[in-house]
Every structure is written in structure tokens, then in C-alpha cells.
Amino acid sequence: MRSTGSVVAVVPARAGSKGIPGKNLRAVAGRSLVRRAVEAALEATSIDAVVVSTDGDAIAAEAERAGARVVRRPTELAGDEASSESALLHVLDDLAAAGEEPEVVVFLQATSPFTDPADLDSAVARVRDGLADSVFAATPSHAFLWRIEREPDGAGTARAVNHDAAVRPRRQDREPEYRETGAFYVFRTAAFRQHRHRFHGRVELVVVDPRGAIDIDDPGDLAVAEALAPHLDPALNGAP
């Protein structure tokens, strides 16, 4: 199968969710999470088509209303143990069976409601221009991280992870580290098929707005996203 030269965004959106029942259809500022993902991808100038992979009828209907194609995910790929990579490969196989093989895949997660289309375009450009093999969304962090190391008796000792605990440099004197937000990942289809993983070759990141770097996992996250929407949604904050 030869590449069509196109860029396809794939949004995996299972019907089941333990943290928030029906999560992908929950709304932030009047738009469902799956609709937000589809519309962000459609607004990106570099993305040619959007495909939603789902096992749910209601999600499929919402995705189609938002302008996406739908690929029905089989039961064996819809459980909690199924990886995102397996859903992506299933979509690519479905497209290939129809004679389509996109050049670039944008793996977009519906649980990140404030994805900026311009960030998607930036990531796609880096991959298409050969500057990177895999690009993902990240936000800067200056956090001092610790982990608990368990002793044989069960007691825990706190150990510094990314710093020397005896040295406390100022924030402006520390180079930032970057937290993966989970919002999106971009890579070439051929390389993804070869490695069967989103991170391969030269990996780079696109720095996204920390304010919108939220991943919806529980009802509290939904409440935070609703509070942020007036500040981050162009249609709500008066931006053109």
C-alpha cells in the first residue's frame, strides 16, 4: 500500500470509562470531549481527515455530527487492557483495506479539551519536514520531584528524583523539564507500523499552554476544565 501523502487524525474514544461514565460524551462549555477533539483537528490546516475509533453508538453519532469518519472498534480492542497503539493500528488497517494509507498520523486524545490547532500544525510540520520522527505535546515544569523508596519493613523514605536535595536553586536558574500532557502525538504511518509504538526515532516535543494542559480523568478534572473554558476557548473569550 503506497502512501496517499495525507495527514489523518485518529481519536480513540471508548464507550466505557471507570472514572467518569460516558466520559467522551461529557461536555465542557457546551461541547462534548469527542466533538472538541474532532473540531480541533478539523481546524488544523495540515490535517486532511479525522477518524474516531469507538465501540459506542452514541460516540459514533456525535463524531459524525462533528465531521469525523468513524471506525468501529472490535470488542477485543475496547477493554481497559487494550492499548492506544492497538486502536491506532486497527484504524490504519481499516483505511488500508479501503486503499488509503496516510503519510502522517496525528493521535489525538479527547480527554484533552483545549488542544490548539496551531500546535497540531506545528507538530505535523516537524514530522513532514523530516525534523523529527515523533512529536508530542508537553508543558514545561520546574517541579522538584520525589519518590518513596520502600524499606524491607514497609517504611518509606523520600528520595529526590530530578535534583540534589541539598541544593535549592532559584526557579529562573533551573532549566525546565517537560511533562507529557497526553493531548497529541504525531508520527509517520510507515514508522509507526514498523515500531508499533508512538515513540520512535528522533523524538521532539511541542510546548503547549500550561493552562490548558489538563487531562480529564475524574469529575474534578471536568469542573476545572469548565472553569478554564472562558479563558481558553476563543469563542468564549472574545477572540476572532
How far is residue 221's CA from residue 119's CA, in Å, rounded to a whole number?
22
Cα angle: 199, vertex 102, 26; to 5 degrees = 70
Residue 9: name the closest of 165, 99, 119 by CA.
Answer: 119
Catalytic-labelled residue, pool 2, 168, 170, 171: 168
Task: Retrieve residue 142's grid coordinates.
Answer: 520546574
Number of Cβ within a 10 Å radius of residue 20: 18
Edge-to-edge strands, sheet with 104-108? 69-72, 49-54, 7-12, 104-108, 177-188, 134-141, 203-207
Q: Are 206 and 138 in contact (CB under 8 A)?
A: yes
168 is annotated as an active-site residue? yes
Residues classed as catalytic: 168
